[in-house]
Amino acid sequence: MKRLLAWTALFATLILFTIVGARIVGHYTSGADRTDLFQESLNSDFDYHPTVGWRNNDLYTRYKSSSLALEQRIIEAFYWLNNSIETKQSLKLRDYYDVDQYAIIDSLLKHQTIDLERAYLSYNLELKHMSLDKSVAVVKCHTADVVERIIDQDDKGPVNFYSTEFSLIMVVIDGKWKIKNWITEDTWQTQPTQHNRDISRKLALIPEVVGINYYPKDSPWHLFWDSLNIDTIKQDFNLINELGFNTIRIFLSYSDFKSGSAFERNLPKFQLILDIAQEHRLKVIPTLFDFPGGYRLADYVEYDRQLKQLMTDCSNHPGLLAWNLKNEPDLDFAYHGEQATMDWLTFVLTRAKAYDTLHPITVSWSDKSYLNCLSKEVDYLSFHLYKDFANWETTINQLARETGKHVLLEEFGTSTRAGLSNLLGRSESRQHKEIKDIVMTCEANSIPFMVWTLYDFKTIPNGVFGWKPWVKAKQKNFGIVREDGTHKPATAIFEK
């Protein structure tokens, strides 16, 4: 009997390991998104910050703290309402809505046969009334920007952008502000705004790019922002300059620039990098939203806020060349779905053009076969080249002609720790040859380029390239400068 129990326990353990192992492997092989394992979304319930503006009237000035309390309750009330519409669970709503309003919502949810995803991106509020004892308030929302999509049997419809105007009566019940009554006064489609963009000066610099992708040797990827060392940046930019490059590409990971303390901590660092780059006559292409938190509409709120804050605070910096809004989004198709990924890209492209009218905007595909995607929306096309080298320049030239847009080869390179050549000690000469071939092709066809990458890395943080040790090992040695600071032969290609 004991033996039977032991075997059963062993069998159960094996099954458990198999399931967990499969989940881990599935997670790490799921494209460019590497959110924390077993975490469905980075958004927690209260980590939700739509943009809110108040009309600065007398009432608001007099009751500012009450207005802010109302604001928080309104944000939460609509967050939970949208969450309920999505999940068809209304329990949380009792805390935010008066019984009559709750009954209407609850009845609708019970009869809801179609799925709806919705998020409020921003509110423009006005305090119309506050009673003397601060127990009754009337709030008008002049404009709330909404994103919404209908989902019919897992089939996601296109994202609909609209704005709405509504009024709320809010009363204090059991010590909390609750929505007593409301009315929607108008709803209108948010027309794609034609902003007065003046990107020509910066766009004209794209064909001149001779660039390099940059992480410091000791702190690539997730380690970059927390370990940022100004002296290292200065030394590295000096080296980049000496090697003959005029542009660098850096990465702003989504979580390192989340609204709140992360953003406040890292924005000055980013601005400092732009300053140092400017001092070294280097232009910067920041790549935003690296390792994003998912493409649910509720997540759009944070993306929008992050984009607006970054672009508003940095768009006047002379060191900035262009914005890349997403690295290799095609790798997200398998994990997040093609439609959800493309909807999100369309959204951030539209918003980015409103927030920064001076700099070109792009996204960079891991595979050149996707370059047609959103080619009308981006200001220049951008791709990475690690495979399918045969006549690649012909495809690029054709695309450039058809679209009338510059095409930037934003990443290419060769690891010096790869395959047989590594064992035979020829890996660095192989890297030199392959990079030189591509550079010569670029120069012959006037294709601007950026090499991956400056340094070999001592360590690759977990979660970036999955669990396979041979993949991680290969990724450590794409640098054209060795870990000890000595130059590999490939540096000679660029040195003036």
Partner 1 sequence: MNTRHIYIITLLALSWQGCMPTIESMPYQGNDLFSLDDLEVIAGQSTLPIIDQRSNDLTYLLSGIQGIATLESIDSTLLLPKSLRYKAGVYQVYAIHENTIIDQINLTIKANEPHGQILTYLGPKTTAFEDSPGTMLTSIVTDTFNNMIDLPIDFTYTFLGKRGVGKQQERHDHEYFTAKLFPPYNNDKVLVGINGPNHLYSSELPLEGSSGCATAARVDIPLYYPLADGRQQFVVEVNAITDREGFEVAEGTLLSIIIAGNQSVEKYESLVTNGSAVFAIENPKLSGTYTLSVYSCGNVIVAAKPLTFEQVTTSLQYDWISKDKLRIGPVTNNLNQSLPNGSPVEVSLPNCSKYSLPPISLYDGFATLNLNDIYTRCEITMLSVTVGERTLMINAKKPL
The site for partner 1 (CB under 8 A) is made up of 81, 84-85, 100-101, 104-105, 107-109, 111-114, 116, 128-129, 131-133, 135-136, 138, 140, 148, 150, 152, 155, 157-162, 164, 166-167, 169, 171, 180-189, 191-192, 338-339, 342-343, 345-346, 350, 370, 372-374, 377
Beta carbons within 10 angstroms of residue 394's beta carbon: 10
Rounded least distance, CB 190 to partner 1, Å: 8
Rounded least distance, CB 362 to partner 1, Å: 15
Residue pair 167/183 in contact (Cβ under 8 Å)? The answer is yes
Rounded least distance, CB 326 to partner 1, Å: 13
DSSP 109: H
Rounded least distance, CB 155 to partner 1, Å: 5
Query: What's the rounded Cα separation, in Å, for the pair 354 and 59?
Result: 31
Residue pair 181/167 in contact (Cβ under 8 Å)? The answer is no
Residue pair 305/263 in contact (Cβ under 8 Å)? The answer is no
Q: Which is nearer to partner 1, 219 or 364 (CB)?
A: 364
Rounded least distance, CB 197 to partner 1, Å: 17
Residue pair 211/449 in contact (Cβ under 8 Å)? The answer is yes
Q: Which is nearer to partner 1, 200 or 398 (CB)?
A: 398
> What is the signed CA dihedral for 277, 282, 285, 289, rounded to 10 degrees?
-20
Q: Which is nearer to partner 1, 167 or 238 (CB)?
A: 167
Rounded least distance, CB 305 to partner 1, Å: 22
Q: Which is nearer to partner 1, 135 or 227 (CB)?
A: 135
Rounded least distance, CB 138 to partner 1, Å: 5
Q: Which is nearer to partner 1, 40 or 185 (CB)?
A: 185
Q: Which is nearer to partner 1, 182 or 386 (CB)?
A: 182
DSSP 296: -
Query: What's the rounded Cα separation, in Å, for the pair 463 and 466?
Result: 5
Q: Which is nearer to partner 1, 377 or 434 (CB)?
A: 377
Rounded least distance, CB 473 to partner 1, Å: 33
Query: What's the rounded Cα separation, in Å, for the pair 413 and 302?
Result: 33
Query: What's the rounded Cα separation, in Å, for the pair 457 and 224?
Result: 12
Please provide the size of the chain in residues: 496
Rounded least distance, CB 249 to partner 1, Å: 24
Q: Which is nearer to partner 1, 23 or 195 (CB)?
A: 195
Q: Per-residue DSSP letters for 137-203?
A: EEEEEEEEEEEEEEEETTEEPPPEEEEEEEEEEEEEETTEEEEEEEEEEEEEE----------HHHH
SS3 at position 443 = helix
**Cα within 13 Å of Cα(51), Cβ side:** 15
Q: Which is nearer to partner 1, 236 or 330 (CB)?
A: 330
